[in-house]
Structure 1
Amino acid sequence: MNGRAKVIAINNSWQLVPWADILYACDFAWWERYRGVPEFEGLKLSVDASACRRPWGIQKVGLNKHDDGLELMKLGTVGWAGNSGFHCLNLAVQMWPAKIILVGFDMRVDLGLHWHGPHKGLNNPSQRNVERWRRCMDAVAGAIREFGIEVINASPTSALKNYPKMGLMEAMEC
């Protein structure tokens, strides 16, 4: 290990952190729209088999679509919970880090859909979607703590309730 934090970018977030270690998107339509993001040099992951069959260099992540909880028995497989953020949290937990910092996990639509605005021509979250996402994310907080992994929510406007909140710089220092 080089001691550097590992960074997982979700969907368009790779544009904010083009040096991320991993780019994850669960939706084939997103991968297709961005043609597999050829300019991203890190590991590309998805649960979508169609995206992984394209010549874009995307590696397959398994999906337990029958469970909205964490998948810990099969490494490289995630619980469903309906969103990429949960999938990435599940993958990060499988890496057994000491700490996970959530950035951009607002889990709400009343302040806007995404930092980059709505996806054009792709699905965008509804209030019903984000309610489920919050419920699933908050439901696994206790289990993650029991594994000795600290999860800090550095998303200033996040609606998540079960993760301590602090600013990004403070979260990275503690």
Structure 2
Amino acid sequence: MWTAEKIWPGETVFVLAAGPSTAALDLSRLAGRKVIAVKSAWAVYPKADVLFFADGRWWREKQLAPRGADAFAGLIVTTAMEIGDPRVKRIKKTDPKHFSAKPGEVALARSSTTGAINLAIHFGAKKIVLLGVDAKLGADGRRHNHGLKWPWPKGATAESFADQAKEFETIAPSAAAMGVEIVNANPDSAIKTWPRLKFEDCL
């Protein structure tokens, strides 16, 4: 089992999720910043420092599509214990009643983004900026920023969005108690748990 270290003390960390809103952002402006990509969101910013996923099926079926695993050079972390790939660090998962202060575990249930936030906290982040945390379809009906097919109908997607929103709302107070500021860099996000700001204002 892997244990996170405080490699980014006092830093601002960007957590890049898969919401379609990031298609309108100039992600090249993340150059030199600390970035954790969630699942296939890495494909829209391959220079991310860390890739986090909790879904073992994603690794087995989509992995690092469409470019292939060797295209990602950063640290890869998962809570999916069945993954035996030597490139992947495995960390324990705990219930998301609060963000974990134990560097050997991250909290999450329905959203890998929750685990990525907890990982950023372990790394020492004082501020976390969320990108692509939309919890709704894009104006063109797209579900994600990476263009991969999704196996579930849109009704199931809506249910998943609701579950994620509830998870964020439940766990958010613990970040504040830990002295970590979280902002959502999408003024139009359906997630209202954290302040919603323009991307430019978070740089």
The answer to whether residue 165 in structure 2 is matched with residue 134 in structure 1 is yes
Q: Which runs of 5+ in 1 are unaligned?
A: none
The answer to whether residue 99 in structure 2 is matched with residue 68 in structure 1 is no
The answer to whether residue 79 in structure 2 is matched with residue 54 in structure 1 is no
2:71 is aligned, of 39, 48, 54, to: 39
Superimposed CA distance per residue, residues 71-124 of structure 1 (whole angstroms, 9 cap, x where no aligned partner)? 424213112321111111111122231210000011224753212345345898
The 1:157–1:144 alpha-carbon spacing in structure 2 relative to 1, beyond 3 Å, is same
For residue 147 of structure 1, what is the aligned residue in structure 2?
A: 178
Moved over 4 A (4+): 1-4, 120-125
The 1:73–1:142 alpha-carbon spacing in structure 2 relative to 1, beyond 3 Å, is closer
8 A Cα contact 2:39 2:51, kept in partner: yes
8 A Cα contact 2:51 2:74, kept in partner: yes
For residue 114 of structure 1, what is the aligned residue in structure 2?
A: 144
The AA in structure 1 aligned to 2:135 is M
In 1, the alpha carbon distance for the partners of 2:102 and 2:153 equals 29
8 A Cα contact 1:30 1:122, kept in partner: no
- Count of aligned residue pairs for this structure pair: 168
The 1:58–1:128 alpha-carbon spacing in structure 2 relative to 1, beyond 3 Å, is same
Identity of aligned residues (%): 26
8 A Cα contact 1:29 1:122, kept in partner: no
The 1:21–1:87 alpha-carbon spacing in structure 2 relative to 1, beyond 3 Å, is same
The answer to whether residue 193 in structure 2 is matched with residue 162 in structure 1 is yes
In 1, the alpha carbon distance for the partners of 2:37 and 2:137 equals 20
In 2, the alpha carbon distance for the partners of 1:25 and 1:122 equals 18
The 1:118–1:19 alpha-carbon spacing in structure 2 relative to 1, beyond 3 Å, is closer
Aligned-residue offset at 1:133: 0.6
The 1:34–1:131 alpha-carbon spacing in structure 2 relative to 1, beyond 3 Å, is closer
Instruction: Give the match's secondary structure for 2:118.
Output: helix
User: TM-score, normalising length from structure 2?
Assistant: 0.72
In 1, the alpha carbon distance for the partners of 2:113 and 2:119 equals 10
For residue 50 of structure 2, what is the aligned residue in structure 1?
A: 22
Instruction: Give the match's secondary structure for 1:145.
Output: helix
* Cα-Cα RMSD: 2.5
Q: Which runs of 5+ in 2 are unaligned?
A: 1-6, 12-31
Q: Bigger relative contact order, structure 1 or 2, given CA contacts below 8 A and separation 6+?
A: 2
